[in-house]
Structure 1
Amino acid sequence: MGDIKAWLQAIEEWRLPLGRWVEQFVDWLTDTFPAFFEFLSDVLFGGYEALADLLIWPMDVVMILILGVLGVLARGWRFGLGGTAALFVISLLNLWDPAMETLALILGSVVIATVLAIPIGIAAARSDIVSNVVRPVLDFMQTMPPLVYLIPAIILFGVGVVPGLIATIIFAMPPGIRLTELGIRQVDQEVVEAGHAFGSAPGEILRQIQLPLARPTIMAGINQVIMLALSMVVLAGFVGAPGLGQEVLSAISRVEIGPGAEAGLSVVILAIYLDRVTAALGTGSGASPGSALSRWRTRFAGRVSVRARTTKEDT
């Protein structure tokens, strides 16, 4: 009887040493590939600094007018004027430089996340094996609390911009992969089969049929990548990443509601502007009917539709 109790007590006290395994794996990475992590850190930090300097270099008014013109081209005069006025609010709050640092973090992480996400999404759309392997990994990435990503990033890259960029890329990438795969899988198979019938290579079918027709869904994925990146770069302020996240963290540490509200409002303005502009690059509902981008996209979509319809009729 005593042996059974001791055995049961040993089972109750036993704990899966997952945390120790993770620590050992991270230690192995840092000891085995120090040169790689140092090189990656230098590249990411250099790219961020160059982009941040480019965005901060013009006067506030000049950069706001540039972004306002981009808003006009994307969604028309109403949004352009409203977006310009909202961006002026950020400047009047003396938060323009932190906002541009945040924008540099977003743009850098979104470009890298998109470059990684779209090829993975294409591979998942063309192979069920890849899709089945990638799907649980994406589930894990999307359900993991965002702050957890910062812990290994700090261990591997130290404190500052680089861990914030790495954590943001990992956190923001899943919707880009999922919606790229979804968009390509939703392309009409009759159009794809028509391309095969005319002897088109798989690469030509991907470039000339699948990607143009899946473009609205892919752009919706990129839009979600941008939104997740914006939320994560604010949290990245906790590990020393510059920008509005630092302003929020400073307000929290001093328990000052005023500066916190100003920084929060700046984040909201930046988020709405980026959301509306990137939405205009995707679906027809994103841009106003009178915008230049809307007219260009209508002509492009019309040409793609005519080519697809002609191909189906010929077959």
Structure 2
Amino acid sequence: MISPQWLRSFVVLAERGSFTRTADQLGLTQAAVSQHIRHLEETLGPLLIRRPRQIELTPAGQALLMYCADLEQAEKRLNLRLSGEDDRQGEISLISPGSIGLSLYPLLLDLQALYPGLTMRHRFAPDHDVLKAVGNNDFELGLVTIKPDDPRLAACLFAQEPLDLVVPAKVMVSCWEDLENLGFIDHPDGQAMASRLLSRVFPGNRGIRSIACKGFVNQIGLILDPVARGFGFTVLPRYAREAYAWPDAIRVVEMDPRVVDSLWLIYRAQWTLSARARFVASELASRLTGKTLELV
């Protein structure tokens, strides 16, 4: 392995053109500089043509000088990556619930198109998996619907997301009986979301379990397909509904009072969030909500 000190002596010698000036700049003796060059030439062959008042690099010397420049740039890139100061380069790792993920992933791709140095790694997962992944450093950023009380995690409000009662486009709903006649399209969080929303919209109702289940879907992007076909209604977070590809086939029943969930951006509290993660998180919040993200 070539000593970095030998390479440093060679680079300065190539710049200054004199063993004496090189020794002065590096704070070494001229004999020490000569020894460094001799070690390099024993390994790589002749690097210099020595003349009375100047030195000239051989082709091997030119190649070594380029190698040293490459090493310097590689070291700068490494330091920059470790420091996280470059907000347009590197990997963005984000894990989020599927609802918000449907809206965020296209925005992540838009940012990657603008800044090709960024690489996006995004996974859909429920809250407990998000907390675990960020806590274990598998992902730098996460989104959850409940603010965590884990001291390892920092959290800031990212967005607010209402629950939507979604029915087929041509169906009108004004009472509980209309929902019973329509039937329910369930999903992994369906009954819990429906219970929370409908208990406020229709106080004293008989409960979501009293309504016939007309289907169950565990893929967030497909839940509205049976609704669009007229098979039933469902309750979904708004970002999932807004990401649906055929909005004309469904309709949101606007009712008060609304149920609104908070979405929290989480990351490890013990160390500084990278500049690129801060940049992307702020851009996502601005593009999604039009508001500035206040990172802690």
Identify the TM-score tier after normalising by the shorter chain. under 0.3
| Higher-strand-fraction structure | 2
| Structure showing greater Rg | 2
